[in-house]
Every structure is written in C-alpha cells, then in structure tokens.
Structure 1
Amino acid sequence: MTKRALVLGATAAAVTAVTITGAGIHLNKGQAFFRDSPKELVDEVWQVIDRNYVDATFNQVDWKAIRSQYLNRNYKDKEEAYKSIREMLKRLGDPYTRFMDPTEFRNMQIDTSGELTGVGIQLAADEKTKKLTVISPIEGSPASAAGIAAKDIITKIDGKSTEGMDVNKAVTLIRGPVNTQVKLTVQRGTQQLEFNLKRAKIEIHPVRASVQQSPTGKVGYIRLVQFSANAAPEMRAAIQKLEKDNVTGYILDLRSNPGGLLYASVDIARMWIQEGGIVSTVDRKGISDKEDANRRALTDKPLVVLVDGGSASASEILSGAIQDNKRGTIVGTKTFGKGLVQSVRSLGDGSGMAVTIAKYLTPNGRDINKHGIDPDVVVELNEQQRQALVRDRDKIGTTSDPQYVKALQVLNQAVSAKQGTRAQTKN
C-alpha cells in the first residue's frame, strides 16, 4: 500500500462511488483457494488488523482470543464469513475500519475523475449514537438538490428502519440503477422529514474558482468539495489562472468537504505554504512520517479559509497546516474532528477492507480527532440562513452567504494591511 493510497475521508461509507487511487484489486494465485475457503478469508482479515491497526490494544480486546473464536466456527459459504468478519471488526469500535464485499469494493473504485453513481450522500455511523449520519451531501447531487444536510440522521430507507443497521447495508439499500427512486426518512433535530430521491450519475469536478469584486480589488474565490485524485491538478490550474487575473487575495472554501486522499491534501497545502510542516502521521509503534512544504508555493497573497462541521479529515489537514503556519485565517465553525488515516486493500476473493493505520497531527502536534479545528473567527449560521443556502446553492460564496461575507471582510483587512506595509516600505 503506497502513501498515495492513504485515505482521509470522514465517511464510513459513501453512497456514491469513491476512488481509492492505487488500491486496485490485485488478486493473487490463491484466489480460487480463498473462494473455496471462507475461513481463510476470515483469518486474512484478522491478520491485516493484527499487523496494521493503529491501536495496539485493539480497543482493549484480546485480539488473539478473537482469532480463536472466529476460526473455531464453520462457515458453509462466504456470506457467513462476511457476516462474521463484520461482526469481528465491530469489536474494534471503529466505524472507519470496515469490510466491503466484492460489489461494495468495486463500487469504491470507480474513478473519481469520471461519473459517480448514487444520490450523493457522504454517510457514517455516529461514533457515540451509532446512528446513520450524513456528513455532507455532494454538491450538484440529488441529495443536495433535495435539501439533505450535514448532521441529518437517516432513520429509514424505503420504509425500512436503520436502527442497528450496518453502514454497508445502508449503502447497498440506497444505491441502485440510475433513474430509480429511493425514499429516505431523515431526523433533523425534532423534525422528521421524507425525501424521495432519484438516483443519478454525478460528474464531480472538485474545484470551482471565480473572481469576486471587493473594496480592495479582485478576490480569488476557490471552492474545493472533495480531495479526489484530480483535486490537486485542478487546484493548481485555478490558482495559476487567478494569479494571472491579478487577484489581491484568496478565499478557500472547504465547507462540507468530507476529505479524501492524503496525498491530495499535502499537494494542495504545498501550493499555499512556502515553508514549514504540513502534517505528520503516527502509527501504533510511534513512527512518525512527516510531510513538509517544498518551497514551491504558487502564491503568498493573503488567504482566508472557510470551514464548518462538514469539513473533515483532509480538509482538517489543510486548514490545520494553514492555521499552524499562520499562513491564513480560518473562518466559520468548528470542523468535524477526524484525525485518523485509513489504507484500503484488496482481499483474496475480490472483497476489500479499509483499516485505520495511523492518526495524524497538525504541524504544531495537535491531535484533532473527535475535537476538530477551532476557527480563528467563529461565524455561526442560524437555521434560516442555513436553509436559504441549502435551497439555493448558487448563493454560496455570495453576499447572501453570511460566512462568506465575514471571510471577505477578514480578507480585505489582511489585504489592506499588506498594501499598507508595502507602501511604508517604498517610502
């Protein structure tokens, strides 16, 4: 498993297909053996956890006793083995370490630079309540258009209760052929809402950039919705174009960005940060792999980063690096709080698994897992404001967006201060 295949998504599963670059299915010569021997598959999963899992105590579970328990069972088919594997992994108490049957694993490998099939929901099991919780809808998706929002709890899928339901099971129920319907029942605070969604193919370009006018000149506004395989090249092209447009500063919008690939967050951080640390990863042996800036930043102009509770994982690496290096100002609300890294690997029968192998720390050594990044400037949205933006996504990044308005105000102050410093230097 290469470093470029490490995953930082906030989701236990996605109801769209997700690419894990470099983690393709590589079946070995023992493929047929694994198909005929479900018990060997159970042991393969156990071995992967035993060698790589981030917590050497395995959530205070006797992992060797677990092996004996599950290998002493007889499995009549692979479906029974799959059920036991999921049951075994639940003992770790980690929603991000999960098993995927061959269909789920293939779904996870659809190229993110192409079309995604689904309703566009990033989904996870809440660590405390275990309820199926929406991390964020993907912009332009059926879920986003219908008004499903981050933190919504999915209580029913086509009338079937999700109480105690495995995330992978929920994903299987929600996915389906394009143009077919799925009904989701959602709990939002005290409200119970129903959404009839039509499944679709969703083309995702993770970067959207534009030039905005401000009192101090032109501002580059960049919205990054996902750290997918093509996020870094699209970000590079956006910054280079905005530099040619002579913008005076930048607003980087990471709101509702659930994360993605580790290397994408590092590559993008290097475009903004000239020197200093970006992130370090620490496995259970305490080995730290540190990533630093490479003195190849594309701009040194003032920067404001917008975040919210849907900004997770790779978004938190990027905003944490910018904050710790004092490269820009973080505006919005506290981020999601996922400081864990997964690797995704194939198994002998064509199934796969994601394993939490490390935690990450910001350049100043902060562990943000279950806490998140605290903004430098807090701007909360009330329910009315949030719903207005949900109903009309075109208002995001405009004067109808209170968090953007504050970000623009903070950026203008930084631009004015920089212009004033330059004027004094010339005098």
Structure 2
Amino acid sequence: MKNTACLLGFLKNCSLGAVALVIPAAVTGVMAPTSKAAIAADLAPDSFQNSPKMVLDEAWQLVYKEYVDADFNRVDWLGVRQTLLSGEYATPEAAYGELRSALRRLEDPYTRFLNPAQYAALTEQTSGEVSGLGIRLQKVDQNLIISSILDNSPAKQAGLNSGDAILIIDGRSSRNLSVEDASQLIRGDRGSQITMIVRRPNGSEETLILTRDLVSVPTVTFELQRQNGIKVGYIRLDEFSAHAAEQMQAAINTLTTQGAEAFVMDLRGNPGGLLQAGIEISRMWLPRGSIVRTVDRAGHSDEITANRTAISDLPLAVLVNGQSASSSEIVTGALADNDRAVVVGDPTFGKALVQSLHGLSDGSGLAVTVAHYYTPDGTDISRRGITPDVSVSLTQQQSRQLESNPTLRGTSADPQFVGAVAALESQVVARREDHTPVVSTPSAHPPNQLGLNEPEQ
C-alpha cells in the first residue's frame, strides 16, 4: 500500500502521539539492470539483508519505477544505482546522507528521503490520530505550559488543565526541553505509561502516572459570526488529515442549523495533507464539475469530479495566503474554476505536483513525485499559485496580531475575513430577496489512502 500525498510544512509539533501508515517497500536487487523488467525480477541477495544498502536499493527502485520524469531530469539513474551500491556505509545515517545527495540531483525538492523519525511523524500527522496524552504545549520563559487539552483524552481524564506547567517527564526536567523535544517524550505506544510532575497555577505540585491512548486530532474549528448584519459560518481548516472531511461535514451541518447565511472557509497557512480529504471536502461544496486533473509520467490523464453529494449551496468565500499549498490549492482551484466560491487574500504557494509516500524496510520513508496536477480550467499553478479574486493583504503588524492571538481570526479584527464577508454580501442579499431555501443534507465521505505531501521547510 502507498500513500499519495503533498508535503509542505510537513512537521507540526504536537504532543499527541503516533499511528503510522504501513507501506511495504519493494523487493530489490544488487546488480544494475538494463531494463525495468530486469529490475522487477531482480531479488535482493542475502548479503543485503539487514544492510543499509537494502534501503538504498529500495529507494532507488521506487524512483526508477514511479518518478514523474522518465528522463530523471537528465540524470543517469542507472549509474546512480551503481554508485549507491558500490559504497561502504558504517552506519545507516551515512547511507541516508548518500541517498539524499543522489535525490538532490533530480532537482526536485518534493522527492526526498525521510529518516524513521521523520517518516513516523509525517504519517502520524496525516493519519489524524496520535498515540499520546492529548495535550498541546507552549514554552513560556523556561516553563513548559499546557496550552490546550483535547476532549476524551488521557490528559483530560487525569485532571490536567490548560495553564498547568509540566516540570518532569519520566525523570527528565522540562526546563531545557523545547516543545519538540517534550512532544517526542510524551508520544509513545498506545497503552504505555508515562510519569509526570506538574505544577498547578496555584503553585501546588502533583505526580501523575498516565496511560497513553489514541486521540483524534481536531483540524477544523468553526464559529457562527455576525458581520455586516450577516450570519457567517466561519470554518478554519489547519490541514487535510484523514479526519478532516468528517470534521468539515460536522462544521457545515452545525453552522447551517445555527442559521448561517454564508460561509468563509479559512485555508490560510494550510500546507496540504491527504489528497482524498481535499477531494471529499471539495465535493461537500461542489454539486458537479471537475475538481482536479492529474497527469503521470506516461502522459495518462485522470480527472476527478464532483459526485452530486454537496451538502450546502450557501454563498462561500475561501481565504488563502502564501502558505496555502497543495491540497489547499486543489480545493481552492476547484471551487474557483467552477464559480462556486470567491477567493480572498494573497496568492497561494504554487505547488502542482503529486507525491507517492512509501515506507522502507527499516522504518524510513520516501516521497516520490509521480504526477503533475491541473485545476479544472487546465491551469498549471506551479510556482505562481492561485491569484485571489479579491486581493486583501495583511500588514506585518496585523499578521503578528493574528498569529499571537488566533482567536481573532474570523472576526472583525481580521481584515481578510472582513473582506471575504464584504465579497459575499450581494449574494446573501439576493438570496434573502428570492427567499432561496438552504440546501443541507448529510453525506458520508469515507477517507482512502490517497494523499498529497510537500517539502520540508
């Protein structure tokens, strides 16, 4: 099984845990073959078992079979295999370095190797489920503070609260730990235990023994806002994880029940994620029409379309910026080219490539570019992104204010949200005058294993 994905801001540190996608690697060989048929038949000899060369050859084979450019950007890829397998590697890290050097010759930042820790973190992120305690952390001065706690999580059940300071994690002081380091310590296998000493806001200290469990990470937040006399359903999507579609559906239905007259979907800062999540979310808004078209190395084209399962026809605006990438751009392009939404904000990132994510035999992973994608109108957004219908840029001060206080997003203190509502106002007024009924029907959107992932920053 492989996971086709888009990977831009690929590691968001969160002390929530890990569930990896199991993606078997290809069985590979030793001698440089002269044809793809020979490669397919070539088997790994005993001398490669438990050797770094096994992983090097697995990665080489995947690029050889799947890479979008059959000429490998004019690189002698057969020669690359001979070079990789003729080397001697004292450690896996030495082999990893040589593989990364070989991949850089393709001049494709999206085709890249991930060590076991990076691969586990990526698959954990896109799965939407993690094994841990269900807390988010921030560093305040030298203190490790719990900023939020997920419902139905081990942390919630143990009585931890936002504002509690974590002093000790399994015997290690948190004072010199970064949020990333602390997150690594807190994550672990489901059912395993962790001991922490916490200090409450009143100064009292408590020792807790917690059992890690799977928790679903929310990627969608929503709220009904009133702006310019309009009831606006504001929905923010942080990333396209495996649970993003079901969370988006719940948000649309809840806000519709609350009386929303229009929607603003906020994809600012969303780096992408799973392709299937993007397709299903597009279908919630789009009753018919093309969503995206992909073209592989052989020139084969595959068009994905809406399937008449839209759950809302209310006026819609999409907020984007320069960090909106990959699946964010697929959704934005689909809704814009089909005249379903008005796009507001700044130009998007501009990534029009699809990757396939593979697990290798030692727990590491490889992302391989396998296709180009085009918006429904046939636009290639590579490097230029999607230009908004309504351009609204934030000043540096406004950007800092929204970043430091995310609760201001989707309010009157958010100039891009205000601009989006203004762009929808005429549609809302027209619907009021026509007494147009609201269309909202529940729809199941099961995720699958396809996805998109973007480059490490």
TM-score, length of structure 2 as denominator length: 0.71
Give the RMSD, CA atoms, in angstroms: 3.2
- 3-state DSSP of counterpart to 1:84: helix
Partner residue, 2:81: 67
Structure 2 CA distance for aligned equivalents of residues 31 and 241 of structure 1: 58
Partner residue, 1:7: 5
Structure 2 CA distance for aligned equivalents of residues 235 and 95 of structure 1: 30
Partner residue, 1:370: 383
Q: 1:349 to 1:50 in 2, by over 3 A?
A: same
| Aligned-residue offset at 1:395 | 1.0
Q: 1:332 to 1:100 in 2, by over 3 A?
A: same
Is the 1:9–1:261 contact (alpha carbons within 8 Å) kept by the matching residues of 2? no
Partner residue, 1:106: 120
Structure 2 CA distance for aligned equivalents of residues 214 and 144 of structure 1: 34
Partner residue, 2:416: 403
Q: 298, 301, 315: which one pairs with 1:288? A: 301
| Aligned-residue offset at 1:316 | 0.4
- 3-state DSSP of counterpart to 2:242: coil
Is the 1:35–1:349 contact (alpha carbons within 8 Å) kept by the matching residues of 2? no
Q: Which amino acid aligns with 1:302?
A: P
| Aligned-residue offset at 1:217 | 3.5
Structure 1 CA distance for aligned equivalents of residues 180 and 17 of structure 2: 23
Deviation string, structure 1 residues 289-327 (Cα, Å, up to 9, x no partner): 211000010011100111111111110000000000000
Q: Which amino acid aligns with 2:360?
A: L
Is the 1:178–1:199 contact (alpha carbons within 8 Å) kept by the matching residues of 2? no
Q: 1:34 to 1:349 in 2, by over 3 A?
A: farther
| Aligned-residue offset at 1:417 | 2.8
Q: 201, 211, 219: which one pairs with 2:232? A: 219
Task: Say which one has the larger Rg.
Answer: 2
Q: 1:268 to 1:36 in 2, by over 3 A?
A: same
Over the matched positions of the two proteins, sequence identity in percent amounts to 41
Is the 1:211–1:221 contact (alpha carbons within 8 Å) kept by the matching residues of 2? yes
TM-score, length of structure 1 as denominator length: 0.75
Partner residue, 1:124: none
Partner residue, 1:16: 13
- 3-state DSSP of counterpart to 2:324: coil
| Aligned-residue offset at 1:59 | 2.1
Structure 2 residues not aligned, in runs of 5+: 28-43, 143-171, 188-215, 437-457
Is the 2:318–2:343 contact (alpha carbons within 8 Å) kept by the matching residues of 1? yes
Q: Do residues 246 (structure 1) and 259 (structure 2) align?
A: yes
1:2-401 map, 5 Å: 5-11=3-9, 13-16=10-13, 23-26=21-24, 34-110=48-124, 112-115=127-130, 142=138, 179=174, 181=176, 199-200=182-183, 204-401=217-414
Q: 1:180 to 1:321 in 2, by over 3 A?
A: farther
Is the 2:235–2:265 contact (alpha carbons within 8 Å) kept by the matching residues of 1? yes
| Aligned-residue offset at 1:414 | 1.8
Once the two structures are overlaid, the 10-residue window that deviates more, 278-287 or 39-48, is 39-48
- Greater RCO structure (CA 8 Å; 6+ sep): 2
| Aligned-residue offset at 1:41 | 2.5
Structure 2 CA distance for aligned equivalents of residues 225 and 32 of structure 1: 46
| Aligned-residue offset at 1:61 | 1.4
Q: 1:181 to 1:319 in 2, by over 3 A?
A: farther
Q: 1:227 to 1:145 in 2, by over 3 A?
A: farther
Partner residue, 1:149: none
- 3-state DSSP of counterpart to 1:227: coil
Q: Which amino acid aligns with 2:55?
A: L
Structure 2 CA distance for aligned equivalents of residues 180 and 284 of structure 1: 51
- 3-state DSSP of counterpart to 2:293: strand
Is the 2:18–2:120 contact (alpha carbons within 8 Å) kept by the matching residues of 1? no
Q: 1:198 to 1:88 in 2, by over 3 A?
A: closer
Is the 1:180–1:198 contact (alpha carbons within 8 Å) kept by the matching residues of 2? no
Q: How many residues align?
A: 357
Structure 1 CA distance for aligned equivalents of residues 327 and 59 of structure 2: 26
Q: Which amino acid aligns with 2:254?
A: K
Structure 2 CA distance for aligned equivalents of residues 103 and 269 of structure 1: 32
Q: 1:245 to 1:294 in 2, by over 3 A?
A: same
Is the 1:304–1:328 contact (alpha carbons within 8 Å) kept by the matching residues of 2? yes
| Aligned-residue offset at 1:40 | 3.2
Structure 1 residues not aligned, in runs of 5+: 121-139, 147-176, 184-195
Is the 1:19–1:109 contact (alpha carbons within 8 Å) kept by the matching residues of 2? no
| Aligned-residue offset at 1:81 | 1.9
Q: 1:322 to 1:95 in 2, by over 3 A?
A: same
Is the 1:142–1:198 contact (alpha carbons within 8 Å) kept by the matching residues of 2? no
| Aligned-residue offset at 1:394 | 1.3
